[in-house]
Amino acid sequence: MSMHSLPTPPSEAVSRWMPAIATVSLGAAHLHSLTAKIEAAVRSGQKGLELFHDDLAHFAKTQRCHTCDEAPARTDRDYEIDAAHAIRDLCAERGLRILALQPFRHYEGLIDPDQHAQRIDELKHWVQLSKILGDDLFILIPSSFLDPSEITGDRDRLVADLAQAADVAFPIRIAYEALAWGTYVNTWEDCWDIVRRANRPNLGICLDTFNIAARVWADPTSATGRLPADADAQLQASMDRLVQEVELDRVMMVQLADGERVDPQTPFLHAEGMHKLLAWSRNARLFPCEEERGGYLPIREVADACLNGLGYTGWVSMEVFSRTTGEDKPSVPGEHAERAARSWQRILQQLDMKVEKAAICKSCH
């Protein structure tokens, strides 16, 4: 085991969770090869991989360059299908399981019926890719953040669209996730309501610590980096509801990430036409427990609710977007994989302490 490999979990309780990482957390698709990311993930002890479509598409483009003179009539989708076979083999040879293909963006609520039809057609392609990539993976649909002129917030329509996606994908699973900057769906509560009402056996929810904390608690453009003091109570109340209301068998994955405390005047926070939380997310996520890098969100409280509170077992993935992943140097995948491994150790220790404390309190009564 290398210095940065993942340790044996410190207790039986936390052995319920298996570590994974999103390919986007290991570097930019156009700068860092998927092969390098896979190798870095394996070296750091990861067991699962969330595959970003950008990485698959770039891998396919690379493969296409080698064969473009041989088969000029083939389409981008044909090459993506070839890439899916190759990626599955690469991961299988290294004992790495592909868990998800994502993000299938801007799907639900489209006002233009032709655009909706195009997304359904693209979803069918993703389903084909998913059947190749793994035996039990899901497609992740993040809540849309298109302009209100392009999408409706009508809840019945959103429910119908997610139900249709699940029906089209079946038996491939669909996970719906609330982005903190979503136009109409930006909390786990809204997301869960839609999943619950759509009521499809292959439709579930993805819980992300960054998106939950960013929406309820954070304000990166304020002097304090957070919303007013009652945000603590608001977050706690939300986590209490999550534990009480979310059905465990509908949770398809828990994703972990923190947010970096940045200067409120940082230029990227004020990009024209971009929601401040989106700009912050793309540039300044961190791995959990990286306080030394400026991490400050109440991630432990959110992770504790999603993992211990719900009694969740299964894959826990690091999903970090950052300006550091866009650095043009070959060391990026390895550096980020090592950071993820250290963060996994830290979060396990934090959660294990909570498990032990709860057990002691229970025994006292």
**Mean per-residue pLDDT, 135-157:** 97
pLDDT at 1: 37
Query: Is the omega angle on the peptide bond into residue 103 within 30 degrees of 0, that is, cis?
Result: yes
Residue showing tokens 């195009």: 118
How far, in Å, CA of 129 to CA of 244, rounded? 35
Burial class, 185, CB count within 10 angstroms (exposed 0-12 / middle 13-18 / buried 19+)? buried
pTM of the entire predicted model: 0.91
pLDDT at 222: 96
pLDDT at 9 over 50: no
Are 55 and 25 in contact by the 8 Å Cβ rule? The answer is no
**Tokens for 131?**
């059947």
Distance set, CA 108 to CA 52, 88, 118, 183, 191 (Å): 19, 29, 12, 11, 12
Identify the CATH homologous superfamily for domain 14-364.
Divalent-metal-dependent TIM barrel enzymes (3.20.20.150)
Residue showing tokens 């957390």: 25
**Mean per-residue pLDDT, 36-42:** 97
Mean pLDDT score across all residues of the chain: 91
pLDDT at 12 over 60: no
pLDDT digits (tens, 9 = 90+) for 252-303: 999 999 999 999 999 999 999 999 999 999 999 999 999 999 999 999 999 9
| Domain locations along the chain | 14-364
DSSP string for residues in 313-355 = -EEEEE---BGGGG--STTHHHHHHHHHHHHHHHHHHHHHHHH
pLDDT digits (tens, 9 = 90+) for 208-226: 999 999 999 999 999 999 9
pLDDT at 159 over 90: yes
Round to the nearest angstrom and report the end-to-end CA distance of the chain.
41
What lies within 8 Å, CB to CB, of 299 at 6+ separation is: 209, 210, 213, 256, 257, 258, 288, 289
